Chains A and B, each alone.
Chain A
Amino acid sequence: MEYANTIEPITLEQFMPQVIRFKMDNWRVAQLCAVRLPDGYELSYSFVKGYDMRTLRLTVATEESVPSITQVYPGAFLQENEAVELFGVKIESIQGDYHDKLYRIARPTPFKEKG
């Protein structure tokens, strides 16, 4: 049994329309992951339907802001807040924004610097 497990690069313009298409098509948001690049972030949004998983891959610059998907998938607020707080990704208008008070860690954005 082979099921889809793909990573698809996507641009910021195509991103929200694709998320809405997923929603219309009854995909559920499975996972949101940020990776620190030397001069930006790599954001992966995974969606699952049935046993298939598709991951959208956004690459943004450090100061570039990303729209929040919580307007479409409210359940993603925890993971979006996590990306903001631990990595310092700029995510705009999260529904249920904790304003860096999710984990209340002593050191701000620990994942922003390597090592």
Chain B
Amino acid sequence: MKKLAKSPWMLHYDASSCNGCDIEVLACTTPKYDIERFGIINTGDPFQADILLITGGVNAQCESVVKQLYEQMPNPKVVVAVGICACTGGVFKDCYNIKGGIDTVIPVDVYVPGCAARPQAIIDGVVKALEILEEKRKNYDKNADDGKGEN
């Protein structure tokens, strides 16, 4: 388990986005951009995921789903907010049902702006997230050795 960052699994969730960023996240996994060259596999199961790629501005109803997905992911984990809505709320900020940004609900490690975020930017964000993941893993291991358990 020492080299978690060599083959992290990614989970994607659409928290009230317009779909634009979601199809770009999916496009990242296809031959032209091929995020799998970093050892990343797109999984649908939060219990096996290390990276959460999340899009959209979070509305009242999906808030609890986002929290649940985040809690279900094992430690250490990183969150990448994809698209300007996920960062700040974007054009949807004034909507009555939008909380505005993923970081209003769960902690975010990397912000990828853009409307829609381009695949290159998403890959860049994920690679940055891998460094953070590696850092978190070191701290996590250290704490585990000290017998402190979680984080």
Contact = CB atoms under 8 A, between A and B. Distances in A.
State yes or no: do A and B touch (Cβ within 8 Å): yes
Interface of A: 103-107, 110
Given A105-B61, A110-B96, 9 more contacts: A103-B61, A103-B97, A104-B60, A105-B59, A105-B96, A106-B60, A106-B96, A106-B97, A107-B96
Nearest to B62: A104
A50 B59 CA distance: 39
Interface of B: 59-61, 96-97
Contacts of B97: 103, 105-107, 110
Interface of A: prevailing SS: loop
A78 to B, nearest CB: 16
A110 B60 CA distance: 14
Contacts, number: 16
Contacts of B96: 105-107, 110
Contacts of B60: 104-106
Nearest to B96: A110
Contacts of A105: 59-61, 96-97
A4 to B, nearest CB: 33
A105 B63 CA distance: 11
Contacts of B61: 103-105
A25 B85 CA distance: 46
A107 B59 CA distance: 11
Contacts of A103: 61, 97
A103 B98 CA distance: 12
Contacts of A110: 96-97
Nearest to A101: B61
